[in-house]
Structure 1
Amino acid sequence: MEFECCDVSIWKEALCGYASQIKSLSVNKKSNLVSLDEFYCNQLPSIIHQRNPNPFITTHELSQLMQWKLTRGKWRPRLLDFVSALDDTVVKTASQKAFQSLPDISKAISELTVLKGVGPATASAVLAAFAPELAPFMSDEAMEAALGNSKDYSLKQYLAFIDKLQTKAKDLSSEGVSFTPSDVERALWSYAVGKSSAPQLNQDPKTNPKKSSKRKRKN
Protein backbone atom coordinates (compact mmCIF):
# COMPACT_ATOMS: atom_id res chain seq x y z
CA MET A 1 0.00 0.00 0.00
CA GLU A 2 1.57 3.24 -1.15
CA PHE A 3 0.86 6.46 0.75
CA GLU A 4 -0.68 7.91 -2.42
CA CYS A 5 -3.25 5.07 -2.54
CA CYS A 6 -6.78 6.50 -2.71
CA ASP A 7 -8.71 3.25 -2.24
CA VAL A 8 -10.51 3.70 1.09
CA SER A 9 -11.19 -0.04 1.40
CA ILE A 10 -7.46 -0.79 1.37
CA TRP A 11 -6.81 1.78 4.10
CA LYS A 12 -9.70 0.41 6.16
CA GLU A 13 -8.32 -3.10 5.82
CA ALA A 14 -4.89 -1.97 7.00
CA LEU A 15 -6.42 -0.11 9.94
CA CYS A 16 -8.58 -3.08 10.89
CA GLY A 17 -5.44 -5.23 10.98
CA TYR A 18 -3.81 -3.00 13.60
CA ALA A 19 -4.90 -5.08 16.61
CA SER A 20 -3.72 -8.35 15.09
CA GLN A 21 -0.34 -6.83 14.23
CA ILE A 22 -0.03 -5.61 17.83
CA LYS A 23 -0.75 -9.14 19.06
CA SER A 24 1.77 -10.70 16.67
CA LEU A 25 4.46 -8.22 17.64
CA SER A 26 3.73 -8.83 21.30
CA VAL A 27 4.29 -12.56 20.82
CA ASN A 28 7.43 -12.07 18.72
CA LYS A 29 8.97 -9.67 21.25
CA LYS A 30 7.64 -11.63 24.23
CA SER A 31 6.33 -8.35 25.57
CA ASN A 32 3.21 -6.87 27.17
CA LEU A 33 2.52 -4.74 24.10
CA VAL A 34 -1.15 -5.78 23.96
CA SER A 35 -1.88 -4.38 27.42
CA LEU A 36 0.30 -1.31 26.77
CA ASP A 37 -1.58 -0.60 23.54
CA GLU A 38 -4.90 -1.04 25.32
CA PHE A 39 -3.76 1.53 27.88
CA TYR A 40 -2.46 3.98 25.30
CA CYS A 41 -5.26 3.75 22.74
CA ASN A 42 -8.30 3.24 24.95
CA GLN A 43 -7.64 4.14 28.59
CA LEU A 44 -5.24 7.09 28.53
CA PRO A 45 -7.35 9.36 26.25
CA SER A 46 -10.34 9.02 28.59
CA ILE A 47 -8.20 9.59 31.69
CA ILE A 48 -6.75 12.80 30.25
CA HIS A 49 -10.10 14.21 29.10
CA GLN A 50 -11.71 13.55 32.49
CA ARG A 51 -9.29 16.04 34.05
CA ASN A 52 -11.22 19.14 33.09
CA PRO A 53 -10.77 22.05 32.87
CA ASN A 54 -6.97 21.66 32.79
CA PRO A 55 -6.08 18.20 31.47
CA PHE A 56 -2.63 16.75 32.11
CA ILE A 57 -0.68 13.49 32.33
CA THR A 58 1.34 12.14 35.24
CA THR A 59 4.88 10.80 35.32
CA HIS A 60 3.55 7.25 35.71
CA GLU A 61 1.31 7.67 32.66
CA LEU A 62 4.15 9.19 30.64
CA SER A 63 6.32 6.23 31.64
CA GLN A 64 3.66 3.78 30.43
CA LEU A 65 3.30 5.77 27.21
CA MET A 66 7.07 5.56 26.72
CA GLN A 67 6.98 1.80 27.28
CA TRP A 68 4.27 1.54 24.60
CA LYS A 69 6.28 3.68 22.18
CA LEU A 70 9.52 1.74 22.67
CA THR A 71 7.86 -1.67 22.61
CA ARG A 72 5.93 -0.87 19.43
CA GLY A 73 9.10 0.53 17.86
CA LYS A 74 12.79 0.54 18.78
CA TRP A 75 13.76 -0.16 22.38
CA ARG A 76 15.83 2.62 23.96
CA PRO A 77 15.95 1.91 27.71
CA ARG A 78 17.70 5.18 28.63
CA LEU A 79 14.68 7.16 27.45
CA LEU A 80 12.44 5.16 29.77
CA ASP A 81 14.84 5.76 32.67
CA PHE A 82 14.87 9.52 32.01
CA VAL A 83 11.08 9.79 31.83
CA SER A 84 10.42 7.59 34.86
CA ALA A 85 12.67 9.81 36.97
CA LEU A 86 10.85 13.04 36.12
CA ASP A 87 9.16 15.00 38.90
CA ASP A 88 5.40 14.54 38.77
CA THR A 89 4.63 18.23 39.19
CA VAL A 90 6.96 19.12 36.32
CA VAL A 91 5.27 16.58 34.02
CA LYS A 92 1.79 17.78 34.97
CA THR A 93 2.71 21.43 34.35
CA ALA A 94 4.41 20.74 31.01
CA SER A 95 1.55 18.59 29.73
CA GLN A 96 -1.07 21.11 30.86
CA LYS A 97 0.71 23.86 28.96
CA ALA A 98 1.02 21.61 25.91
CA PHE A 99 -2.67 20.69 25.81
CA GLN A 100 -3.68 24.32 26.35
CA SER A 101 -1.46 25.33 23.41
CA LEU A 102 -3.44 23.28 20.90
CA PRO A 103 -4.20 23.62 18.05
CA ASP A 104 -0.74 25.22 17.85
CA ILE A 105 1.18 21.97 17.37
CA SER A 106 4.58 23.61 17.29
CA LYS A 107 4.06 25.33 20.66
CA ALA A 108 2.56 22.17 22.19
CA ILE A 109 5.56 20.07 21.15
CA SER A 110 7.93 22.71 22.52
CA GLU A 111 6.18 22.66 25.89
CA LEU A 112 6.67 18.90 26.18
CA THR A 113 10.24 18.65 24.93
CA VAL A 114 11.51 20.61 27.95
CA LEU A 115 11.14 17.27 29.76
CA LYS A 116 14.30 15.14 29.87
CA GLY A 117 13.97 12.13 27.57
CA VAL A 118 11.03 13.62 25.65
CA GLY A 119 11.76 14.50 22.04
CA PRO A 120 9.28 15.40 19.27
CA ALA A 121 8.39 11.73 18.70
CA THR A 122 7.43 11.07 22.33
CA ALA A 123 5.73 14.46 22.52
CA SER A 124 3.70 13.52 19.45
CA ALA A 125 2.49 10.37 21.24
CA VAL A 126 1.32 12.51 24.17
CA LEU A 127 -0.57 14.87 21.87
CA ALA A 128 -2.04 12.00 19.83
CA ALA A 129 -3.52 10.50 23.01
CA PHE A 130 -5.24 13.81 23.74
CA ALA A 131 -6.10 15.02 20.23
CA PRO A 132 -5.87 12.21 17.63
CA GLU A 133 -7.79 14.39 15.17
CA LEU A 134 -4.91 16.89 15.20
CA ALA A 135 -1.65 15.18 16.05
CA PRO A 136 -0.68 11.68 14.91
CA PHE A 137 2.11 9.72 16.56
CA MET A 138 5.46 10.14 14.78
CA SER A 139 6.20 6.45 14.13
CA ASP A 140 9.13 5.39 11.95
CA GLU A 141 6.88 3.33 9.70
CA ALA A 142 4.43 6.15 8.99
CA MET A 143 7.25 8.67 8.56
CA GLU A 144 8.91 6.44 6.00
CA ALA A 145 5.66 6.00 4.08
CA ALA A 146 4.62 9.66 4.15
CA LEU A 147 7.98 11.42 3.80
CA GLY A 148 10.43 8.74 2.71
CA ASN A 149 12.57 9.39 5.79
CA SER A 150 12.30 7.97 9.30
CA LYS A 151 15.64 9.24 10.66
CA ASP A 152 14.79 12.90 11.19
CA TYR A 153 12.94 13.45 14.47
CA SER A 154 12.98 17.24 14.36
CA LEU A 155 9.98 19.47 15.00
CA LYS A 156 10.18 20.71 11.40
CA GLN A 157 9.93 17.14 10.10
CA TYR A 158 7.01 16.41 12.41
CA LEU A 159 5.09 19.43 11.15
CA ALA A 160 5.62 18.25 7.57
CA PHE A 161 4.45 14.78 8.65
CA ILE A 162 1.30 16.20 10.25
CA ASP A 163 0.46 18.14 7.11
CA LYS A 164 0.67 14.99 4.98
CA LEU A 165 -1.41 12.88 7.36
CA GLN A 166 -4.06 15.53 7.94
CA THR A 167 -4.49 15.89 4.18
CA LYS A 168 -4.66 12.11 3.71
CA ALA A 169 -7.23 11.79 6.51
CA LYS A 170 -9.45 14.39 4.81
CA ASP A 171 -9.10 12.62 1.46
CA LEU A 172 -10.09 9.27 2.99
CA SER A 173 -13.01 10.66 5.01
CA SER A 174 -15.99 10.43 2.70
CA GLU A 175 -19.31 8.66 2.29
CA GLY A 176 -19.75 7.97 5.99
CA VAL A 177 -16.14 6.88 6.52
CA SER A 178 -14.17 8.94 9.01
CA PHE A 179 -10.36 8.89 9.25
CA THR A 180 -8.29 10.89 11.70
CA PRO A 181 -4.56 11.53 11.16
CA SER A 182 -3.97 8.99 13.94
CA ASP A 183 -6.03 6.42 12.00
CA VAL A 184 -3.80 7.05 8.99
CA GLU A 185 -0.67 6.52 11.13
CA ARG A 186 -1.98 3.23 12.55
CA ALA A 187 -2.95 1.98 9.11
CA LEU A 188 0.53 2.77 7.77
CA TRP A 189 2.19 1.15 10.79
CA SER A 190 -0.02 -1.93 10.56
CA TYR A 191 0.67 -2.39 6.87
CA ALA A 192 4.43 -1.90 7.26
CA VAL A 193 4.72 -4.32 10.19
CA GLY A 194 2.62 -6.92 8.41
CA LYS A 195 4.72 -6.56 5.28
CA SER A 196 8.02 -6.95 7.13
CA SER A 197 6.85 -9.96 9.14
CA ALA A 198 5.50 -11.85 6.11
CA PRO A 199 7.62 -10.85 3.09
CA GLN A 200 6.68 -14.01 1.23
CA LEU A 201 3.08 -12.81 1.05
CA ASN A 202 4.07 -9.71 -0.87
CA GLN A 203 4.60 -11.67 -4.07
CA ASP A 204 1.27 -11.80 -5.82
CA PRO A 205 1.17 -14.47 -8.60
CA LYS A 206 -1.79 -12.70 -10.17
CA THR A 207 0.18 -9.50 -10.73
CA ASN A 208 3.50 -11.12 -11.65
CA PRO A 209 2.93 -14.70 -12.93
CA LYS A 210 6.32 -14.97 -14.64
CA LYS A 211 8.20 -14.03 -11.49
CA SER A 212 6.10 -16.42 -9.48
CA SER A 213 6.66 -19.35 -11.87
CA LYS A 214 10.40 -18.77 -11.91
CA ARG A 215 10.48 -18.83 -8.13
CA LYS A 216 8.54 -22.10 -8.08
CA ARG A 217 11.04 -23.77 -10.40
CA LYS A 218 13.94 -22.69 -8.23
CA ASN A 219 12.36 -24.02 -5.03
Structure 2
Amino acid sequence: MDFRCSDGAVWRDALASYQTRVESLSLAKTDLVRLDDFYTKQLPLLLRQRNPTPYISKPELSTLMQWKLTRGKWRPRLMDFVSSLNEPQVQSASERAFQSLPDISKAITELTTLKGVGPATASAVLAAYAPEIAPFMSDEAMVAAIGSSKDYTLKQYLIFAEKLQTKAKELSMGGDLFTPSDVERALWSSSVGAKLQALPSQENPKASSKTNAKRKRQR
Protein backbone atom coordinates (compact mmCIF):
# COMPACT_ATOMS: atom_id res chain seq x y z
CA MET A 1 0.00 0.00 0.00
CA ASP A 2 1.28 3.42 -0.95
CA PHE A 3 1.74 5.63 2.10
CA ARG A 4 0.52 8.59 0.05
CA CYS A 5 -2.89 6.95 -0.42
CA SER A 6 -5.65 9.10 1.10
CA ASP A 7 -8.52 6.67 0.53
CA GLY A 8 -9.81 5.81 3.99
CA ALA A 9 -11.48 2.63 2.73
CA VAL A 10 -8.13 1.25 1.59
CA TRP A 11 -6.61 1.94 4.99
CA ARG A 12 -9.62 0.47 6.80
CA ASP A 13 -9.33 -2.73 4.76
CA ALA A 14 -5.62 -3.00 5.52
CA LEU A 15 -6.24 -2.44 9.23
CA ALA A 16 -9.13 -4.92 9.25
CA SER A 17 -6.84 -7.61 7.82
CA TYR A 18 -4.29 -7.18 10.63
CA GLN A 19 -5.52 -10.13 12.69
CA THR A 20 -5.62 -12.36 9.63
CA ARG A 21 -2.00 -11.50 8.84
CA VAL A 22 -0.98 -12.26 12.41
CA GLU A 23 -2.72 -15.63 12.22
CA SER A 24 -1.09 -16.39 8.87
CA LEU A 25 2.38 -15.68 10.25
CA SER A 26 1.66 -17.66 13.41
CA LEU A 27 1.77 -20.85 11.36
CA ALA A 28 5.49 -20.22 10.93
CA LYS A 29 6.11 -18.09 14.05
CA THR A 30 4.85 -19.98 17.07
CA ASP A 31 3.11 -17.96 19.77
CA LEU A 32 2.60 -14.83 17.65
CA VAL A 33 -1.18 -14.90 18.11
CA ARG A 34 -0.82 -15.19 21.90
CA LEU A 35 1.86 -12.51 22.05
CA ASP A 36 -0.07 -10.14 19.81
CA ASP A 37 -3.19 -10.60 21.94
CA PHE A 38 -1.14 -9.68 25.00
CA TYR A 39 0.37 -6.62 23.34
CA THR A 40 -2.72 -5.22 21.64
CA LYS A 41 -5.41 -6.10 24.21
CA GLN A 42 -4.08 -7.06 27.63
CA LEU A 43 -1.08 -4.76 28.09
CA PRO A 44 -2.88 -1.47 27.29
CA LEU A 45 -5.50 -2.26 29.94
CA LEU A 46 -2.87 -3.16 32.53
CA LEU A 47 -0.97 0.08 31.93
CA ARG A 48 -4.05 2.31 32.11
CA GLN A 49 -5.26 0.68 35.33
CA ARG A 50 -2.13 1.84 37.14
CA ASN A 51 -3.14 5.25 38.35
CA PRO A 52 -1.98 7.78 39.22
CA THR A 53 1.49 6.58 38.15
CA PRO A 54 1.45 4.08 35.28
CA TYR A 55 4.45 1.87 34.59
CA ILE A 56 5.40 -1.36 32.80
CA SER A 57 6.74 -4.27 34.82
CA LYS A 58 9.81 -6.30 33.90
CA PRO A 59 7.78 -9.45 33.00
CA GLU A 60 5.53 -7.30 30.80
CA LEU A 61 8.54 -5.70 29.11
CA SER A 62 9.99 -9.15 28.52
CA THR A 63 6.77 -10.35 26.87
CA LEU A 64 6.59 -7.15 24.84
CA MET A 65 10.12 -7.81 23.61
CA GLN A 66 9.11 -11.36 22.63
CA TRP A 67 6.18 -9.90 20.69
CA LYS A 68 8.39 -7.35 18.94
CA LEU A 69 10.99 -9.92 17.91
CA THR A 70 8.43 -12.52 16.85
CA ARG A 71 6.44 -10.03 14.80
CA GLY A 72 9.64 -8.73 13.19
CA LYS A 73 13.28 -9.86 13.17
CA TRP A 74 14.48 -12.18 15.91
CA ARG A 75 17.44 -10.77 17.85
CA PRO A 76 18.02 -13.08 20.85
CA ARG A 77 20.64 -10.80 22.39
CA LEU A 78 17.95 -8.22 23.13
CA MET A 79 16.05 -10.78 25.20
CA ASP A 80 19.22 -11.43 27.19
CA PHE A 81 19.60 -7.71 27.93
CA VAL A 82 16.02 -7.36 29.12
CA SER A 83 16.41 -10.44 31.32
CA SER A 84 19.35 -8.76 33.05
CA LEU A 85 17.23 -5.76 34.12
CA ASN A 86 15.66 -5.56 37.57
CA GLU A 87 12.08 -4.61 38.41
CA PRO A 88 12.82 -1.22 40.04
CA GLN A 89 14.86 -0.13 36.99
CA VAL A 90 12.05 -0.96 34.58
CA GLN A 91 9.31 0.57 36.70
CA SER A 92 11.22 3.79 37.34
CA ALA A 93 12.22 4.35 33.69
CA SER A 94 8.73 3.61 32.39
CA GLU A 95 7.08 5.85 34.99
CA ARG A 96 9.30 8.75 33.90
CA ALA A 97 8.59 7.98 30.24
CA PHE A 98 4.82 7.90 30.60
CA GLN A 99 4.86 11.09 32.66
CA SER A 100 6.90 12.77 29.89
CA LEU A 101 4.16 12.34 27.28
CA PRO A 102 3.14 13.94 24.99
CA ASP A 103 6.86 14.77 24.64
CA ILE A 104 7.81 11.66 22.64
CA SER A 105 11.48 12.59 22.47
CA LYS A 106 11.82 12.77 26.24
CA ALA A 107 9.75 9.64 26.75
CA ILE A 108 11.92 7.61 24.35
CA THR A 109 15.07 8.96 26.01
CA GLU A 110 13.84 7.83 29.45
CA LEU A 111 13.11 4.31 28.26
CA THR A 112 16.36 3.89 26.35
CA THR A 113 18.30 4.22 29.61
CA LEU A 114 17.36 0.54 30.02
CA LYS A 115 19.92 -1.87 28.57
CA GLY A 116 18.60 -3.56 25.46
CA VAL A 117 15.81 -1.03 24.96
CA GLY A 118 16.43 1.04 21.86
CA PRO A 119 14.08 3.56 20.21
CA ALA A 120 12.11 0.79 18.46
CA THR A 121 11.39 -1.16 21.66
CA ALA A 122 10.73 2.09 23.52
CA SER A 123 8.22 3.06 20.84
CA ALA A 124 6.40 -0.25 21.37
CA VAL A 125 6.10 0.52 25.09
CA LEU A 126 4.73 4.00 24.38
CA ALA A 127 2.35 2.74 21.68
CA ALA A 128 0.82 0.27 24.12
CA TYR A 129 0.11 3.10 26.56
CA ALA A 130 -0.62 6.01 24.21
CA PRO A 131 -1.50 4.73 20.70
CA GLU A 132 -3.00 8.13 19.89
CA ILE A 133 0.46 9.69 20.22
CA ALA A 134 3.23 7.18 19.59
CA PRO A 135 3.26 4.51 16.85
CA PHE A 136 5.46 1.42 17.03
CA MET A 137 8.63 1.74 14.95
CA SER A 138 8.18 -1.42 12.85
CA ASP A 139 10.41 -2.10 9.86
CA GLU A 140 7.44 -2.45 7.53
CA ALA A 141 5.91 0.89 8.50
CA MET A 142 9.31 2.60 8.40
CA VAL A 143 9.90 1.46 4.83
CA ALA A 144 6.43 2.59 3.75
CA ALA A 145 6.56 5.97 5.49
CA ILE A 146 10.16 7.09 5.05
CA GLY A 147 11.67 4.56 2.65
CA SER A 148 14.12 2.91 5.04
CA SER A 149 14.23 0.78 8.20
CA LYS A 150 17.98 0.77 8.79
CA ASP A 151 18.27 3.78 11.10
CA TYR A 152 16.93 3.01 14.57
CA THR A 153 17.78 6.36 16.10
CA LEU A 154 15.66 8.77 18.10
CA LYS A 155 15.96 11.35 15.31
CA GLN A 156 14.63 8.89 12.74
CA TYR A 157 11.82 7.80 15.03
CA LEU A 158 10.65 11.38 15.52
CA ILE A 159 10.48 11.85 11.73
CA PHE A 160 8.58 8.59 11.41
CA ALA A 161 6.18 9.38 14.27
CA GLU A 162 5.36 12.79 12.84
CA LYS A 163 4.53 11.28 9.46
CA LEU A 164 2.18 8.72 11.01
CA GLN A 165 0.56 11.34 13.22
CA THR A 166 -0.07 13.50 10.17
CA LYS A 167 -1.47 10.56 8.20
CA ALA A 168 -3.75 9.60 11.11
CA LYS A 169 -5.17 13.13 11.21
CA GLU A 170 -5.68 13.12 7.43
CA LEU A 171 -7.52 9.79 7.48
CA SER A 172 -9.62 10.82 10.49
CA MET A 173 -11.00 13.77 8.55
CA GLY A 174 -13.07 11.29 6.54
CA GLY A 175 -15.17 10.40 9.58
CA ASP A 176 -13.26 7.37 10.87
CA LEU A 177 -10.93 7.71 13.82
CA PHE A 178 -7.38 6.63 13.04
CA THR A 179 -4.54 6.74 15.54
CA PRO A 180 -0.85 6.70 14.56
CA SER A 181 -0.81 3.11 15.86
CA ASP A 182 -3.71 2.22 13.54
CA VAL A 183 -1.67 3.59 10.65
CA GLU A 184 1.33 1.47 11.67
CA ARG A 185 -0.76 -1.71 11.90
CA ALA A 186 -2.36 -1.04 8.54
CA LEU A 187 1.07 -0.58 6.93
CA TRP A 188 2.43 -3.71 8.61
CA SER A 189 -0.62 -5.71 7.54
CA SER A 190 -0.36 -4.51 3.95
CA SER A 191 3.36 -5.29 3.78
CA VAL A 192 3.00 -8.76 5.28
CA GLY A 193 0.06 -9.51 3.01
CA ALA A 194 2.08 -8.56 -0.07
CA LYS A 195 5.00 -10.72 1.06
CA LEU A 196 2.75 -13.73 1.70
CA GLN A 197 1.13 -13.40 -1.72
CA ALA A 198 4.54 -13.22 -3.39
CA LEU A 199 5.72 -16.48 -1.81
CA PRO A 200 5.43 -19.77 -3.69
CA SER A 201 2.64 -21.86 -2.15
CA GLN A 202 5.12 -24.25 -0.51
CA GLU A 203 6.72 -21.31 1.32
CA ASN A 204 3.47 -19.58 2.23
CA PRO A 205 2.47 -20.89 5.69
CA LYS A 206 -1.24 -20.34 5.14
CA ALA A 207 -1.28 -21.69 1.59
CA SER A 208 0.77 -24.73 2.61
CA SER A 209 -1.61 -25.43 5.47
CA LYS A 210 -4.63 -25.34 3.14
CA THR A 211 -2.84 -27.57 0.59
CA ASN A 212 -1.95 -30.14 3.23
CA ALA A 213 -5.52 -30.17 4.55
CA LYS A 214 -6.86 -30.71 1.02
CA ARG A 215 -4.46 -33.62 0.45
CA LYS A 216 -5.56 -35.27 3.67
CA ARG A 217 -9.22 -35.03 2.62
CA GLN A 218 -8.34 -36.66 -0.70
CA ARG A 219 -6.60 -39.64 0.88
The TM-score, its normalising length taken from structure 1, stands at 0.90
Which residue pairs with 2:22 in the alignment?
22
Task: Give the superposition deviation at 1:73.
Answer: 0.0
Which residue pairs with 1:43 in the alignment?
42
Question: Is the aligned partner of 1:13 residue 2:51?
Answer: no
Which residue pairs with 1:148 in the alignment?
147
Which residue pairs with 2:61 in the alignment?
62
- How far apart are the structure 2 equivalents of 1:18 and 1:48? 23
* SS of structure 1 residue aligned to 2:176: coil
Task: Give the superposition deviation at 1:176.
Answer: 2.9
- What percent of counterpart residues are identical? 66
Task: Give the superposition deviation at 1:4.
Answer: 0.1
Which residue pairs with 1:195 in the alignment?
194
The TM-score, its normalising length taken from structure 2, stands at 0.90
Which residue pairs with 2:164 in the alignment?
165
- How far apart are the structure 2 equivalents of 1:48 and 1:6? 32
Where has structure 1 moved over 4 Å in runs of 4 or more? none
Which residue pairs with 1:181 in the alignment?
180
Task: Give the superposition deviation at 1:85.
Answer: 2.0
CA deviation digits over 1:156-213, x for unaligned, max 9?
0000001100000000003430000000000000000000111279xxxxxxxxxxxx
Task: Give the superposition deviation at 1:154.
Answer: 0.3
Check the 8 A contact 2:62/2:82 in 1, yes or no.
Answer: yes
- How far apart are the structure 2 equivalents of 1:184 and 1:42? 17
Check the 8 A contact 2:8/2:174 in 1, yes or no.
Answer: no
Which residue pairs with 1:33 in the alignment?
32
- How far apart are the structure 2 equivalents of 1:47 and 1:188? 26
* SS of structure 1 residue aligned to 2:173: coil
Change (3 A) 1:81 1:5: same
Which residue pairs with 1:205 in the alignment?
none
2:40 partner amino acid = C
- How far apart are the structure 1 equivalents of 2:159 and 2:27? 34
- How far apart are the structure 2 equivalents of 1:56 and 1:8? 34
- How far apart are the structure 1 equivalents of 2:51 and 2:96? 13
- How far apart are the structure 2 equivalents of 1:44 and 1:140? 22
- How far apart are the structure 2 equivalents of 1:18 and 1:196? 14
- How far apart are the structure 2 equivalents of 1:67 and 1:81? 11
Instruction: Give the alignment's Cα RMSD to 1 decimal.
Output: 1.1
Which residue pairs with 1:209 in the alignment?
none
- How far apart are the structure 1 equivalents of 2:199 and 2:57? 43
- How far apart are the structure 2 equivalents of 1:107 and 1:6? 31
CA deviation digits over 1:77-118, x for unaligned, max 9?
110111122100000000000000001100000000000000
